[in-house]
Amino acid sequence: MPEPSTRKDAVRNRKAVLAAADALFDRSGNPEEVTMADVAAAAGVGKGTLFRAFGDRNGLLLALYEHRIEPIRQTVQAGPPPLGPDTPARERVPALLDALLRFKLDNRRLALALEETGSTSPYLAAHYEDWHSLLRSALEQIPGLTDNSEFTAHVLLAAIRADLVEYLAGHKGVPREEMHAQLARFTAGVLR
Amino acid sequence: MPEPSTRKDAVRNRKAVLAAADALFDRSGNPEEVTMADVAAAAGVGKGTLFRAFGDRNGLLLALYEHRIEPIRQTVQAGPPPLGPDTPARERVPALLDALLRFKLDNRRLALALEETGSTSPYLAAHYEDWHSLLRSALEQIPGLTDNSEFTAHVLLAAIRADLVEYLAGHKGVPREEMHAQLARFTAGVLR
DNA sequence: AGTAGAATCGGACTGCGGGTCCGTTTCGAT
DNA sequence: ATCGAAACGGACCCGCAGTCCGATTCTACT
């Protein structure tokens, strides 16, 4: 990410901001109450620096997200089954959803903040398209689902949206394994 | 809604505000850019009046929503099949989802505004609980779905969330009937 | 009809957060 | 050591939800 010719104070500050934001978002219950000024202060940096490095609030959230999701992305793209590309679709679909659910449980605040961001619908984010098309092409390889795969992929992703996960896990107190089990059961039903 | 002893100017202003808000939300593409000041101005009323009548932005949105959804609510509660209580669950579930999808298509801006409202997750709204428990109890009457009905109801409702509907219908240009068809196909699959 | 006083009105005002601006500081190439 | 360029940082601006309180309008009572 850091360009070859970037001044080292810029690099240092970028890291400081990422670390501070990372900590702040996980700590607070409601991500909306973490302000940009807070992040800048916690990182020991001015607001100007913060905004120059990440553009806007959404840019910061995105950078955090990409950093955290990287391992999963890698595994999906070139790793072993059940996530990697060599997995039969029937196993890969539930595995993908399971991994994403685990990610959202592990990164609830961040995922929430990312999907909330008022004006920007989560469906317009670049990474949504990625996950959707991956899931969709997996679904297309399963006989009997090829016709409605587009919509089915949307619904399966909607089943693990950050605010739903937060509601069930955080508000309703549904335990982790229970959520995984319910999602697996539902997915199995859809895949018939 | 207006208490027996409410001054008539208050009643008049309340109606004016509702009418103005109704029009404004439907007109603008992005509901976030309709400000409370706009609504007050369009209604020919001061901001103080607006806030006294509805509490806050969310209160206004809710009042609008309840006004518009009332016919559906009535039909569901005491109307004829396929929405009313005498409908066999197997037909009622898809009918409910279809009606809600139609509602969201017809009231896109409003539904969006209602589900966005930053800090307040849609899952904490009173009406979500209502629809969820209705759908869930219908699902429970279908053999083979009784175990996972809770989660299944959440997912089916997630399939018609306002921002997803807006994304598909508005951004991707999926026509109405196509959306209804896709939802019906998916639901049929889930109900097996 | 007239009047008192309570409820409502309305727009100036506050608080707050995202985002910008620009004088000052730091970097690194020569 | 020097100089131009890039980065810094915090004062500043802007827009919006929500509040406050003096002015206004309604209604109950005579």
Here the CATH number for the domain that contains residue B6 is 1.10.10
Q: pLDDT tens track of chain B, all 192 residues?
A: 444 578 999 999 999 999 999 999 999 989 999 999 999 999 999 999 999 999 999 999 999 999 999 999 999 999 999 999 999 999 999 999 999 999 999 999 999 999 887 667 899 988 999 999 999 999 999 998 999 999 999 999 999 999 999 999 999 999 999 999 999 999 999 998
Q: Which of A14, A30, A55 is the last residue of a domain?
A: A55
Q: Is residue A63 part of a domain?
A: no
Taking CA–CA distances from B116, the nearest residue in chain A reads A118
Tell me the one-letter amino acid at A137.
Answer: S
Q: B163 with A122: CB under 8 angstroms?
A: yes
Q: Which long-range contacts (CB under 8 A, 24 or more apart) does B56-61 make?
A: B57/B117, B58/B117, B58/B120, B60/B17, B60/B21, B60/B36, B61/B110, B61/B113, B61/B114, B61/B117
Strand D–CB A3 distance below 7 A: no
B28 and B118 part of one domain = no
Assess whether A184 and A99 both reside in one domain.
yes
CA of B14 to C1' of D21 (A): 22
Whether A60 and A102 have beta carbons less than 8 Å apart is answered as no
- Cβ pair A168:B185 closer than 8 A: no
**pLDDT the model gives residue A115:** 86
Question: What is the rounded radius of gyration, in angstroms, for the C-alpha atoms of chain A?
Answer: 18
Pair B98, B177 in one domain: yes
Same domain, yes or no, for B78 and B172?
Answer: yes
Query: Residue A162 is part of which domain span?
Result: 68-191
* Same domain? B41 vs B82: no
**Do residues A92 and A183 both lie within one domain?**
yes
Residues A119 and A158 in one domain: yes
- Asked whether the beta carbons of A17 and A43 are under 8 A apart, the reply is yes
Does residue A106 share a domain with residue A75?
yes
Mutate to test the interface with A, among B150, B186, B187, B191 (most CBs of A within 10 A): B186
For residue A181, tell me if it sits in a domain. yes
Q: Based on the structure, what is the number of domains in chain B? A: 2
Residue A62 lies in a domain: no
From the alpha carbon of B52, which nucleotide's C1' atom is closest? Answer: C8
Amino acid whose CA is nearest the C1' of C26: A9
User: Chain B contacts of A163, Cβ < 8 Å?
Assistant: 121-123
Per the domain annotation, does A155 fall within a domain? yes
Residues 6+ apart with CB under 8 A from B176: B105, B169
Rounded to the nearest angstrom, the minimum Cα separation between B113 and chain A is 10
Does B148 reach chain A within 8 Å, measured CB to CB? yes
* Distance between B158 CA and the closest CA of chain A, angstroms: 6
Which of A55, A78, A97 is the endpoint of a domain?
Answer: A55
